[in-house]
Amino acid sequence: MPVQLKFLSIFTNPTQKSNKTLNNNRQHIMNEFDVKAAEWDKNPMHWDRSEAIANEIKKLIPLNKNMKALEYGAGTGITSFLLKDHLKEIILMDNSTEMVRIMNEKIEASKVKNMTALNFDLEHNDYKNSKFDIIFTQMVLHHVMNIDAILKRFETLLNPGGYLAIADLFSEDGSFHGEGFEGHNGFDVEDLSKKLNKYNFKKINHKECFLINRKISDNVTRNYPVFIMTGLKPAN
């Protein structure tokens, strides 16, 4: 994951320094997921986690064939493929070129008609082409630096009566990604619930939905629980 540049000219404007570092970090993240894309679907845990999250979404949210969905940070689209038969249309959004390429290949190979892959950086740009009835995302939020900004964008993109579903790590000690990771070490679900409420989401609920068993060194393996949190944008 991105490592902040430590040596910059003393004559560099502080704003330029901050922006340059942010842009370098952003490019590093995108490049890392571009590299991971080709092997992503070969990891059984990715399928197991997506299936657990998709099942919880189906239990917690009244999906129907009239709903238009956005999967934010869709990766290779595993979760969306598991939900496609329960929704009218899904936009699979990711800012990794290679992830989007693989999604397009999978969509074409399976001849799915209600899924569209989109290369777009929602963390830093407003998306104005559509509104959605549900937005879901898994294991993406801890990579997003400005949580308030992305939650505000989610709220703006949802139709009244629309749903948000977030799956991510509970707070952890930083060992999940290790040294150099500049995102969030999971989330305190009570604090995140308050943030959703701040952006007008109601009926906020959360529960544990999956356990990641991850090797963090040659002889150490740790369990990292994953939560799913849902919220409703009021109809009026």
Q: What is the pLDDT of residue 7?
A: 29
CATH code of the domain containing 42: 3.40.50.150
As a whole number, mean pLDDT of residues 78-87 equals 98
Confidence of residue 236 (pLDDT cuts 50, 70, 90): confident
38 or 46, which is more confident: 46
Q: What are phi and psi of 34, to 5 degrees?
A: -60, -45
As a whole number, mean pLDDT of residues 120-124 equals 95
- Neighbour tally for 20: CB within 10 Å: 14
CB 54 within 8 A of CB 80: no
Mind listing the pLDDT tens digit for each residue in 126-142? 999 999 999 999 999 99
Residue 21: pLDDT above 50?
Answer: no
Quick one: CA torsion of 78, 80, 84, 87, rounded to 10 degrees?
A: 160
Q: What is the pLDDT of residue 232?
A: 98
Residue 126 lies in a domain: yes
Residues paired with residue 227 on neighbouring β-strands, in sequence order: 168, 208
Q: What is the pLDDT of residue 35?
A: 63
Mind listing the pLDDT tens digit for each residue in 155-201? 999 999 999 999 999 999 999 999 889 899 999 999 999 999 999 99
Confidence of residue 31 (pLDDT cuts 50, 70, 90): low
* Strand (E) or helix (H) holding 46: helix 44-60
Q: What is the pLDDT of residue 37?
A: 77
Residue 8 lies in a domain: no
What percent of the chain clears pLDDT 70, i.e. is strictly above it? 85
What percent of the chain clears pLDDT 90, i.e. is strictly above it? 78
Residue 4 lies in a domain: no
As a whole number, mean pLDDT of residues 91-108 equals 95
Residue 2: pLDDT above 90?
Answer: no
How many angstroms separate the Cα of 232 from the Cα of each of 60, 147, 150, 193, 197? 11, 18, 16, 12, 10
Q: What is the pLDDT of residue 33?
A: 61
Residues paired with residue 168 on neighbouring β-strands, in sequence order: 227
What is the average pLDDT value for the chain, to the nearest integer?
A: 88
Residue 138 lies in a domain: yes
Q: What is the pLDDT of residue 218?
A: 87
Within 13 Å, how many C-alpha atoms sit on residue 70's CB side?
26
Q: What is the pLDDT of residue 10?
A: 30
Residue 54 lies in a domain: yes
Could you tell me which residues come within 8 angstroms of residue 174 by beta carbon, excluding any fewer than 6 positions away? 181, 185
Query: In terms of residue numbers, what domain contains 113?
Result: 14-232
Task: Tally the domains of the chain.
Answer: 1
Among the listed residues 34, 25, 31, 27, the one whose alpha carbon sits nearest the alpha carbon of residue 5 = 25
* Residue 41 DSSP code: G
Residue 48 lies in a domain: yes
Residue 97 lies in a domain: yes
Distance CA 150, CA 167 (A): 15
Confidence of residue 24 (pLDDT cuts 50, 70, 90): very low
Residue 9 lies in a domain: no
Residue 26: pLDDT above 90?
Answer: no
